[in-house]
Structures are given as C-alpha cells and as structure tokens.
Amino acid sequence: MTMTLADAARLDDGVVTPRADRPKRRTFTAEYKAQIVAEYEAADRGERGAILRREGLYSSHIVEWRKAAEAGATRALGPKSRDRRDREIEQLRVRAERAEAELARTRAALDIVGKAHALLETLSESTGTPKPPQR
C-alpha cells in the first residue's frame, strides 16, 4: 500500500516534535558580511541599532565579522562548511609534500648506494679478487 499526500494529511495528529518549533541556523555569505559591516561602520551611532534589527543580527555578529576582516581572513568571512574541506585539502597537500621529500631522499640514497656498489666492484677488480657468483 502506498501512501499519498491525502493519506499523510489524515494521519497528521497535530503532534509537534520537540525540534519542529526551533529556528534553523542561518548562514551568511562573505559578501553579505562585508556589506553589513561596511553599512554598520558608515552609519551614525543611532542608526546602527536599526540596521541590526532590520537584519535580525546581534552586535556580536558585527564584532566577529569585523575582527575576521581586520585579520585579513576573507576566507573566515565565508561559510564555515568549507573550513573542514579546506583543512583536509591543506593536510593532504602537506602529506604529499612530505611524501615527495621522502621520495627524493630515497632516490638520492639509492643513487649513492649504486655508486658505492660500482666503486667497490671497480676496486675489487683492480685488486684481482675474483667476483662472487651472480645469483
């Protein structure tokens, strides 16, 4: 049996779940934050509260956004959801750089070992010592 929208409406008993009446968390773009901070800074002291009320913001939003902008962290003004991805990308970049450095060291060590082997072979041939059998 499939349920249709009409069936769902009949089954709705009006019970509200505990989280249904809670507001959703808002996210703001970097452009919006920069615009609001600029508007707030340009406004007279008496108009600043009106801007906050109009936008539904708190003064702590402005303080936080201003600190981020002053620190030069324009990325910090962007949505936080990207921060995790950016951290992961940076960790992978560091890991790749370490692996490349280790690979370069390993190649250099193998090159040195190969040269040392060739030198020892040359020295053993010059002394007349018989070569060990090849495996």
Q: Is the pLDDT of residue 123 over 80?
A: yes
Long-range contact pairs involving 46-55 (C-beta distance under 8 Å, separation at least 24): none
State the CB neighbour count (10 A cutoff) for residue 62: 19
Structural domain boundaries in the chain:
25-79, 80-128
What tens digit of pLDDT does each residue of 20-37 get?
677 788 888 888 998 999
Phi, psi of 15 (to 5 degrees): -75, 130
Q: How confident is the model at residue 127 (pLDDT cuts 50, 70, 90)?
A: confident
> What length does the chain have?
135
Write down the pLDDT at residue 85. 84
Write down the pLDDT at residue 75. 57
Evaluated on CA atoms 76, 81, 82, 88, the torsion sign reads positive
Interatomic CA distance for residues 87 and 89, integer angstroms? 5
What tens digit of pLDDT does each residue of 71-118 get?
776 555 555 556 788 888 999 999 999 999 999 999 999 999 999 999
Q: Which residue's structure tokens are 């060990």? A: 132
Write down the pLDDT at residue 72. 74
Write down the pLDDT at residue 1. 47
Write down the pLDDT at residue 14. 59
Q: Structure pTM?
A: 0.40
* Cα distance between the two ends of the chain: 75
By mean pLDDT, which of 26-30, 47-51, 127-131 is the weakest?
Answer: 127-131
The mean per-residue pLDDT over the stretch 124-128 comes to: 80
